[in-house]
Structure 1
Amino acid sequence: MAKKSRVKFGTSGDDTFTGTDDSEIFFGFGGNDAISAGGGNDHAFGGRGNDALVGEAGKDHLFGGSGRDLLLGGPGKDVMVGGADNDTFLIRQGTGVDTIADLQAGDRIDIRDFNFASFQAVLNAAHQSHGDVVINLGSGDQLVIDHTKLSDLHSEQFIISSQITGPSSSQSPYLVSTNSHVTIESILTAGDSIGGYKMAGIPDGLGAFDNGNGTFTVLMNHEIPGGLGAVRAHGANGAFVSQWVIDKTTLQVQSGHDLIQHVFVAADGFSVDHSAANGNGITFSRFCSADLADASAFYNAASGLGYNEGRLFLDGEESGVEGRPMAHIASGPDAGKSYELAALGNMAYENLLANPHTGDKTVVAVTDDGQNGQVYFYYGDKQSTGSAIDKAGLTGGHLFGIKVADFAATSQCAELHDPAGCRRAIRVHLGRSRRCERHDRRADRPGE
């Protein structure tokens, strides 16, 4: 029988490789690949994409290639080359002697396993050996950094703790990692200011998207009751949405501002621009959770129907039965405009969750956080004309409640723990919601 080739090739997509105890060569090519080389003296090439390369036992050579790669040599005498972009090198106890051949300014070396108290303690464990830096990690483990001077190293390149205070945050993370492979870094803390813009209190629902230029945007709800807080960019105090631009490499916050600039509501037929400039701002109360759905939730590329000119951020007021659902446009030519979604009705909104796989239909799950809170579903049709929310299918649709058969006059809590209580659920059409109209909780309650 012919011996199997020791060379394994990936594709332009995301590939996963698991090696054997033989010496093998792996080529990931494009995509975000995961290569676990196994035993033997292996060579792993990630290629393009954000790859994860693990050498395991043996004398391995790992080459990340372009992209933000993760490299872990494992036991043995390994050589790691991150390549282009900012990479992370994981060094763990029992690693033997690992060599980083091309440390770049934006790369990071994770040595949390060795319990260094500070970056100075790392320097104290290091020495210059000709043109290289050698760090003694203890128990026979060493890290060699090729073609580097001790004076070239800086603290930002080393991860020595699972909790990292980011460059823009005044506080260390409140969360504590219990996994040596997980690092938690604080980005911004309530009270911190960026360029004079302060992160206010009661942050809640979040959304984030890539800007395609080395930064990403974070959208943040602030669950402030109406009547409290400062007057915001839309001309009123109370709840608002902040927008932050953050560097993907350093996690430094570059800028922040109010997302909501112009508000359009059903009470005046969406024809009036409510803004600070016009002196007619509208007060919002307690924006809770949020949903930044995929663009396909509101645009069908196959038919061309829907809104494809910016990202829509959905939230609602968790302020009682008259709470309003909202869609905020976060990018594109309409950025800064916010629309009331009157077709979804009024309630104490916990969240609005849009389904990104519904074609020409727009489907949004609506969760009510009132005393008798329920779950509703809105069904609308994407359009080719009209306002942003018209195109997105968020007007003129139908609202449905959930009614579970055989639950009338019984305890839902008791039935949910009874396997025999799993019964058929049906949709109940509640009709079209109009502005300033709320649903009667008794009529909409399952089983009544």
Structure 2
Amino acid sequence: MGKGQNFKKLSCAICVALMLPLGEGGVTVQAEEAAVSTRNPYYQQVEAPVVQPAWSLPVAKAKVVDNVEPVTAVAENGKVFMLQPNGKLAALKAASGAKLWEYGSQLAQRMVYNNGAIYGMTTAGALYKVKEDNGSKVWSAALGYGAADSIKVTGGTVYVTQGQKMAAVDAATGKIKWRIAEDPNNYYFGSEALEAEGVVVRNYAVSGAITVSLLAVYDKTTGNKLWEASRQLAPLAIKDGVLYSERELFMLDDDPVNRKIQIAAFNLRTGALKGERTYSWTDKAATDGVYHGGGSYSSAFLNGNDLYIHQGQRLVLYDFRNYVSGAEPLKKWAQESYDQRIPLNLVHQDRIYYTDEHSHGLIAMKLANGQYARFDQGENNTVQAAIFGKGVYVGQSDGLLHAYDLISSKPVFTVRTGSPEFAPLLKTGGMLLIQSGGKLHGIKLPASLK
């Protein structure tokens, strides 16, 4: 018998031996079983065409200070105005990324666009104004607000806030009209300025036995405080000399079953209480005796004359113009998973919006039929999301950005940014601007999302 035949026989014998069970003295080799084995049945991979940016350029990385969202870019009129890593402001054509002009140095991450000009802050705390078309400086005003948290232009005035401080600057000349500062030991977390009917309104958190919201009203011309009211939230509306504000009921009326929203009506100039509205309901789901306030449990917002009130298991609608004590709501909707969602208090495309407490994803509810659509069903959690028109854009913690059609909820395209960091998304004309990982990407939008 040849060597080749002997080798074949030996090989077959080995194969048979490997397939047969071993007798005593043999060793059985088995894969180790996991002590715990689970999978996520809700995991989905978004299937959409991957598109490449039309252009990408370095942009200053957003630096969040004291939980205040920085602003490193704004987009208007087919242009992008961005803060470069070198601290200079640059204007670009949104379609091509071509640079139009540069301005300044050591500029802070705080700017807004208004009526043909960009208003921003320097790191030294000066407010500046430059022209949109050529970047030429119009004026600057030394405010000393090196950590300004908001800039807002209303009418002919620029309002700048930094914590408890607020300044009013003439938008045409740069002249400082007035500056005020509340006691930093008692006032915290001031809101941006709201100008209406000759006054300026801010909300603060004030400390005492507990921390509560405080509404403060100032004269627009002088900055003098006209009045303030504790336990009042930001204005729902200011109309015909009356300020409407929801009252904060925490530790005042903590009945978990018999719930209510109270809306006070104040004289805008004097703060005199003109009246109060009460909207009541029974929370039949509150069986544990624990009071849950605010958010989806009990909060209100206005959209025109439509007053929406989140009432735990349901969302309801009232006509704000025609208040009748004890009246039933005009409409009701079931609030799905309300204990896990934060309402965004706005209406867009006939939809109400929430964010999920866990995924931070965007969720929409159609007012026409109460149906919900989730835009957090991608591969990872949401970092940044925005809606422009009928386009929903979701930046994830894996660096992917998915674009969806708001009406159909279907994915349209995906962008691979390469970074889990996202700053606010921007849009001008037919371009989406993505800030991610120190890069600004220009994406040409399909006709369906323009």
The reply to whether TM is greater than 0.5 is no
Name the TM-score, length of structure 2 as normaliser: 0.28
Name the TM-score, length of structure 1 as normaliser: 0.29
Q: Which has the higher contact order (CA 8 A, sep 6+)?
A: 2
